[in-house]
Amino acid sequence: MAYKNKEDQIAYHRKYYKKNKEMIDSRNKEWQKKNPNYIKDYYQQNKEKLKLKNRIHYSNNREYCLKWCKEYSKRHPEINRNNVNRWRKNNRIKARSQSRARYHKLRGDKCEICNTTRKLHFHHTDYEKDEGLTVCAYHHVMIHKMEVKT
């Protein structure tokens, strides 16, 4: 079948998938059962490429991804709870510091950079000593972006 452009091809495949979703999904599941190691092997061989692809997708669709994660957490609270507990177990110092910042009010009354009083966060510079800055959400993101670049 000849397509006028890429958009027409994508639209056709989406329409076909919606029409035949059950059949396609059942075939995919059968194939996955017959080839259980393929997906693991593929992931191991292409790990960096897949991570980069996921990172790009997240940055281009941030709002959608956050909404999807929130809905997933509500649909599967036991999985979410297990993930949170695993993170806390693996990051005990960070978890304690965040808890102290939240419950013992280590935060100041305003952002130390722009003096706003809205959406304040506590940015830890040293988790073990509970040292850090009180900053607004915008400047907190900027600080982390600078940390990643350096």
Residue 36's pLDDT band, with cuts at 50, 70 and 90, is confident
- Is 80 a member of any domain? no
- Is 65 a member of any domain? no
- Decide which of 44 and 101 is more confident: 44
- Is 23 a member of any domain? no
Residue 112 structural domain: 93-150
* CB 43, CB 50: distance < 8 Å: yes
The pLDDT score that the predictor gives to residue 130 is 67
Span 41-55, average pLDDT: 93
Instruction: Tally the C-alpha atoms within 13 A of residue 108's C-alpha that lie toward its C-beta.
Output: 15
For the full predicted model, state whether its pTM sits above 0.75: no
The pLDDT score that the predictor gives to residue 107 is 66
Residues 16-19: contacts with CB under 8 Å, at least 24 apart? none
3-state secondary structure of 137: helix
Span 27-54, average pLDDT: 92
State the amino acid at position 82 in one-letter form: N
- Is 66 a member of any domain? no
pLDDT in tens, 56-107: 999 999 999 999 999 999 999 999 899 999 999 998 888 887 777 766 565 6
The pLDDT score that the predictor gives to residue 45 is 95
- Is 143 a member of any domain? yes
Task: State the total domains in the chain.
Answer: 1
Instruction: Report the chain's C-alpha Rg in angstroms.
Output: 22
Average pLDDT over the chain, rounded to an integer: 87
DSSP summary character for residue 108: -
- Is 126 a member of any domain? yes
pLDDT at 147 over 80: no
Residues forming a β-bridge with 131: 126
3-state secondary structure of 121: strand
Residue 5's pLDDT band, with cuts at 50, 70 and 90, is confident
SS (H, E, C) 52-85: HHHHHHHHHCHHHHHHHHHHHHHHCHHHHHHHHH
- Is 150 a member of any domain? yes
State the amino acid at position 14 in one-letter form: R
- Is 48 a member of any domain? no
